[in-house]
Amino acid sequence: MTLRSETKGMILFTKDHREKDKLVKIFTEKHGKIMFFVRGARGRNSSVAPAILPFTEATYIADINSDGLSFLKDYKELENFKLIQQDIFVSAYATYILNLVDVAIEDQTYDPALYGFTKQALMYLNKGLDAEIITNIFELQLLSRFGYDFEWKGCSVCGETHGRFDFSSQYSGVLCERHWEMDRRRYHADPKAIHFMRLFASITLDQIESITLKEDTKLAIRQTVDLLYDEFTGVRLKSKKFIDEMKSWEGMLKPLPTKEKEVDND
C-alpha cells in the first residue's frame, strides 16, 4: 500500500546508492522513521539535494510504502541547523542524538513526542548551548523508549527526596544514603553526578540555560550515564566512540573554556 504524504521530517542519515542515487533515512513527524529512495540525488540538477543535507528539517512530500522503500518526491519549508553543520564538536553530539533516535524506536513508529524532543535538542545545540548537558538530558529521558522507567525522584526503598543518592540496578532507581547497604553492587557513583542525573531525568530542555557544571562533574555524569547504557541498552554507537575520542583533542582545536561556577538546581 502506498500513501502520498506531506510531513515534517529531520534527516537521520544518508547513504550513497548506485551511481547517482541516495538512500535517506528521515525521522518524520507523522510516520516515524522511514528509509527513502531518492533518485538522482547525487546529480548536479537534483531538486531535493538541499533538503537531504545532514542536520536539516523540511516538509517532505513523499510516497510512503508500508513494505519496502518509500520515495521522496519534493520538499518545502527548509530549515538548516547551520551551527551544527559548521562546528565539528556540536555536530558530533547532534549525530549521536540522531543515532540514538534511530536505535531507540522501530521504523514507522508514530512518536510525535520524541520528534518534538529531538527537534528541541537540535535547536538548543544550534543555539550554542552546552552540548554535553543537552546530550545527557536526552540520553536519560530516552531510556523510556528502550523500556526502562527508573525511579529518579526519590529513594526506591523509602521515598526520601533529599540528601546523597546512588543508583541501584537491583532496585531500578536511586537509593538514599541510609539504604546504600541494601545493594552492595550499587554503582558507587559520585553523589554529585547522581544529583544532576536526577535533575536531568525530569527537567525540560528550556531550563538548560540555568545550569553550568564544572568539568569534573560533567565527567562523572558521563561515566555514570555510560554505565547505565552499557548495562541496560547494550547500545554502542560509533558516534559515541567519536565523542569520547574527540574529548582528548578538542582542546587543541579551540580554547579551553573558562571554569564556571557550578549551580545546584535541586
pLDDT of residue 96: 98
CA atoms within 13 A on the CB side of 258: 2
pLDDT of residue 266: 44
Q: At a CB cut-off of 8 Å and minimum separation 6, what does 224 contact? A: 167, 187, 189, 190, 193, 194, 197
Ramachandran angles phi, psi of 120, nearest 5° = -60, -40
Q: Are 211 and 130 in contact (CB under 8 A)?
A: yes
Give per-residue pLDDT as tens, 77-123.
999 999 999 999 999 999 999 999 999 999 999 999 999 999 999 99
- Give CA separation, 198 vs 31, 125, 163, 189, 255, in Å: 32, 22, 12, 13, 31
Q: Residue 260 above 50 pLDDT?
A: no
For residues 16-20, average pLDDT: 84
User: What rounded mean pLDDT belongs to the chain?
Assistant: 92
Checking DSSP bridges between strand 2-17 and strand 32-38, what pairing results, if any?
Answer: unpaired
Instruction: Say what the pTM is.
Output: 0.90
DSSP symbol at 58: E
Q: Are 21 and 41 in contact (CB under 8 A)?
A: yes
* Domains, in order of start, for the chain: 2-80 (2.40.50.140), 88-252 (1.20.1440.120)
